[in-house]
Structure 1
Amino acid sequence: MSSPSSTAPGAAALAGWAYAAPTAVIVAVLFVAPLVLVVVMSLRRWPLLGPARPNFPADYTKIPDDPLFLDSVLFTLRYTVIITILLSAVALGLALLVQDRRPRVGFFRTAFFLPGAVGFYNPLQVRVAGEVTSGVSPRADGGLRASWRAVSCCPTNLARTFAALPAYVATGTDAGLQLHHPTSARVEHDGFVVEVDTEMPWRGAATLRVVQAPDRLRVLSLRLPIWAGGGTAEWCRVWAPGEEVSVDLRMTPRWVEPDPRIDALRGCVAVERGPLVYCAESPGDQPPLTRITVDTSRASEVVDEEIAVSATLTSAEDQPWPYGPRPRAEAEAISLRLRPYYQWGNHGPATMRVWLPKG
């Protein structure tokens, strides 16, 4: 009588690891590694150009004040609990259905596998046209973003812009390097390597640091924006690694006026600071921007990333429509906070104005 065959414990364990290895690799590459990368990236500030810099714990201390944080957590929990359980239950039910030997099981098997074969598998993950998904974007959630166009020009324009971005930032010639935009970057040309360190557009200070330079005369130039006086700053010398040049561009808020031939903007002003345009935003129409005028004779104040300007809020009075004498109304002096134009709509539906009437 032959005895049953046996497998050594080491061989069985090795076989188990071999079966589990593909799944472990997939989980490590597609889940663990991205999770670790997200944590690492959250500890640093990543500009569009230039090296990343430590930013811990600034990002984390702002979390309690972010109105979108709690919404995103709740959305993730709802998705995990509802969708995951639902998909698991549906998948298990379908699996049992196609495995059972009953009449018309062939029909269910065909209906189950055919969508995957033709490219429409798992339609639950496809976003329904016109559906607004909570937590994706405050602008989209508030109906402030334009609907999708048949011609998708934005992605192609972004791809074209990013491809040409290095040439917009800097160029190199036989004479040296020309920096066209004061932004954090590392520029290399013909053995001449310069690192630009700046916090534009929030602060105007910039440092140009020579990392590597040929042993001959080279010109390093920086184009000065119009809002900083215009022109070009040049430094010509035989550079040595470690040399630095510092510049400080004027970043004070400024009032700008439209051409008087623009009827819709006559009597209005806008606020700029550095390369940024600012706007007044009024969530819930509080305060109502239609009853606000600004005082350009008084200095504005920079508060964090916003600008505070002196303004006057008139009381609400019945106005004859569409024309009539202007009613007498009480006026209240207020401080109006302006935020960068690119941030408008990120705090929910709101009225917004860039051009503000002068008082």
Structure 2
Amino acid sequence: MDTTVDLDAFASLVERPDDAARRAADERWAALDQPRGGLGRLQELGSWLASVQGADPVRPLSAPRVLLFAGDHGLASLGISARPAEGGTARRVHAVLDGTAPVAKLARRFGAELRVVDLSVDAPEAEFPAEVTQHRVRRGSGRIDLEDALTAEQAAQAFRIGMAIADEEVELGTDLVVLGDLGVGSTAVAAVLVGALCGTDAAAVCGRGSGIDDKVWMVKCAAIRDSLRRARPVLGDQLALLATVGGADFAAITGFLLQAAARRLPVVLDGVVSAACALVAQRISFRAPEWWQAGALTGEPALAKAYDRLTLTPVHDQQVTAGEGIGALLALPLLQAASDALAEGEFVPAAAPAAPRTPAPLPSAAELLGRP
């Protein structure tokens, strides 16, 4: 299997979204009978959708997909997460697949299909359906404070898998991807990538992740510090960086983001994992961030730094820290509203509202007490 990747090609493959469509959307907003800026952020989101669709008027979002990349990370063995390192990611995958996880319930509520891709979950492949594990690169990733997460070949393989998944989604007719991740210890890995790419120290990017206390935070911070020392020598080679201090899920997400931008497929980023991969992708193609929206803030310091470097403004801040794509998914109704408000035609109510029912008169105090 050929696992080479021509990263330089993305510089020309990724084009800018359609500025003419964006200007037309702005003109349509201006023509509406409403106060200037009366719809707030919806106007900006609608104009962005017009540009990434290259369409005037905007097409309503009809085929969104929640895409979750799953993988385990060696740093989790240090106990740096409130979730158990052994079996924690597998249980989260099962919860998503059986429909009990919040992201699965919200996806149903918002009319989005949901897909899980196992790149490196530390569990037997037989635990999950074949369509989930068909792209698995390995079982778990290395402990990046001491060793590489992947071999160079595995990093390239995962990157190409991400590209192939982007192609699959385009061919399936997906018109917006809500991107998320499933993995214990993944916020620490993301913090290493953000810290390395933004030139900050461990304390500036080490967050509370799954809700850890001060003692565990210090352990996590030390692990990030040691991993940063291993990351800095390979900053000039993005695939080497992903192999050294990333993971199969991180490499796949990076490949997915770049190929999605090349195929003009818009993406909503979720938390610090997708943002860290977006930073790596930005190093490869500076135009790529124009195809993405930042879903939400989570309180992770590394996420704020990544969004600042990407010049992306989160759609909302509902203080969602659970990961799993939930924050990005909560942005979907706003994007749907923006596309509907700017689409051609008028709104038609689904059904006439029911006539108000006249309530029965309440009994008097005397009647309640049985008095004449």
Q: Please identify which structure carries the higher strand content.
A: 1
Class of the TM-score when normalised by the shorter of the 2 chains: under 0.3
Give the alignment's TM-score, normalised by structure 2.
0.20
Structure with higher RCO (Cα < 8 A, 6+ apart) = 2
